[in-house]
Amino acid sequence: MPVTQSTVRVISHLDRDYLRQALEHDVTAGLTSSPKWLPPKWFYDAAGSDLFSRITRLPEYYPTRRELTILRARAADLAAVSRADTLVELGSGTSEKTGLLLDALSAAGTLRGYTPVDVDAVTLEAAAHRLAGRYPGLTVQAVCADFERHLALLPRNGRRMVAFLGGTIGNLEPAARAVFLKELRATLRSGDTFLLGADLVKERGRLVAAYDDSAGVTAEFNRNVLRVINRELDADFEPESFEHVAVYDERHDWIEMRLRASRAMRVRVGGLGLSVSFEEGEEMRTEISAKFREDGLRGELAAAGFGVRRHYTDPEGDFALVLAEA
C-alpha cells in the first residue's frame, strides 16, 4: 500500500510589528518600574535558544532529564487515558520531547494531528517539517502565536491533548497563571485533556545550582536579554557589566533570576527614546521559576475548572507531570 504523505500548514498570528510592539511595551514597562524587571520571553533569539539547549544538558539542571524520565515511563498510559488523536504543544520550541508522546499516540492507533505553538517562526517550521517526515499521514498545523494571548485562536480539530511541558508554567506569576489556566480551560471541549509539566519544591541548594551552574552557561543566557534589547531597540547595555544572580524565595516558592549592575551606569535605549540609570549593586529581575507542591498544583487546576486524571513524578520526586481534564 502507498504511504500517506504528511501535510504541514503554518498559521501565524504574529508579525514583525506585533513582536516589535510587544518588546517595546515590555522593555518600557520593565525599565521604568521600581524595581526594574524584564520578562523571560526575550531571552530566546537564536543565541538564547542555543544557550538554553546547553542548559538542559548541564549536570546541575535536572528538570529536563526528570521530565523525560516520566514521559518515557508514562507516555503509553497518557495515550490510553486521554485517547487523544491530536497533540497541541504550547511553547513547543524544537519539540525534542514531543516524539515520546507522538510515538505513544501512534502506537495506540489514535494519532492524527500535531499542533506545535511557538513565537519563533523559524524554529517552529523546522520542527514541524521534521516531525511530519517522521510520522506518515500526520497532519501538522504549526501555529506561530503567543500562548498567553492567542489560546482562543488555536485550531480545535480532533480530540486534543494540550501539552505545556518543561515547567514553563512556573515563569508565570500566580495571577497570570490563574488567567492562563482559566483561558485554556475555556478552549477545551469534552474529551480534551491538558498535560502539564511542573517542577517541584525541593532543597534550596539544588534549586539555586540549577539556575547558577558552575560553567556559567545560565549567566550568559540571562545576559542575552540585554543583547536582544541592544540589537532590536538600539540600546547600549554592556552585558558583561551585569552579574548573574539566582536566589530562592521561600515565601513564594520560586527561583528569581536577576541581573546586578556591577557599577553605576546610564543606559540609552535609542529605539524608545529612553535613558535609564542603574546604581551600583542594583538588581533587575529577569525571570521567576515557581516550584510547586502537589496539593497546590491540584488547587490551582481545580480553581480553573480542571480535574486531575493522573499525577506522575520521577523516582526522585523532583518533577511532576499532571494529566487533567475539563
Q: Give the span between the Cα atoms of 13 and 143, in whole angstroms.
A: 8
Residue 25 CB: number of other CB atoms within 10 A?
Answer: 11
Q: Give the span between the Cα atoms of 135 and 207, in whole angstroms.
A: 37
Check the CA dihedral 322-94-51-122 and report its sign: negative
> Mean pLDDT of all residues in the chain?
95
Question: What's the confidence (pLDDT) of residue 1?
Answer: 46
Contact predicate 211/255, CB 8 Å: yes
Strand residue runs (E) in 111-213:
113-118, 139-144, 160-164, 193-199
Strands 254-261 and 160-164, bridge-based pairing: unpaired
294: cell is 502537589
- The three-class DSSP label of residue 294 is helix
252: cell is 513564594
What pLDDT, in 10s, does the model give residues 143-170? Answer: 999 988 899 999 999 999 999 999 999 9
Residue 291 CB: number of other CB atoms within 10 A?
Answer: 21
Mean pLDDT of 220-233: 98
What pLDDT, in 10s, does the model give residues 28-51? Answer: 999 999 999 999 999 988 899 899
Per-residue pLDDT at 2 exceeds 70: no
SS (H, E, C) 50-76: HHHHHHCCCCCCCHHHHHHHHHHHHHH
What pLDDT, in 10s, does the model give residues 171-197? Answer: 999 999 999 999 999 999 999 999 999
Taking the domains of the chain in order of start, what are their residue ranges?
1-230+292-326
148: cell is 498567553
What pLDDT, in 10s, does the model give residues 76-92? Answer: 999 999 999 999 999 88
Question: What's the confidence (pLDDT) of residue 291?
Answer: 98
Domain 1-230+292-326, CATH among 3.40.47.10, 3.40.50.150, 2.60.40.10, 3.40.630.10: 3.40.50.150
pTM of the model: 0.94
Q: If residue 310 lies in a helix (H) or strand (E), which one and from where to where? A: strand 307-313
- Single-letter residue type at 205: G
Q: Give the span between the Cα atoms of 326 and 323, in whole angstroms.
A: 11
Question: What's the confidence (pLDDT) of residue 97?
Answer: 85
What pLDDT, in 10s, does the model give residues 268-299? Answer: 999 999 999 999 999 999 999 999 999 999 99
Q: Which of 309, 304, 298 is nearest to 185 (CA)?
A: 304
SS (H, E, C) 227-263: HHHHHHHCECCCHHHEEEEEEEECCCCEEEEEEEECC
What pLDDT, in 10s, does the model give residues 241-273? Answer: 999 999 999 999 999 999 999 999 999 999 999
Q: Give the span between the Cα atoms of 244 and 221, in whole angstroms.
A: 9
Could you tell me the end-to-end alpha-carbon distance of the chain, in angstroms, rounded to an integer? 40
Q: How confident is the model at residue 3 (pLDDT cuts 50, 70, 90)?
A: low
Contact predicate 131/138, CB 8 Å: yes
8: cell is 504541514
89: cell is 504543544
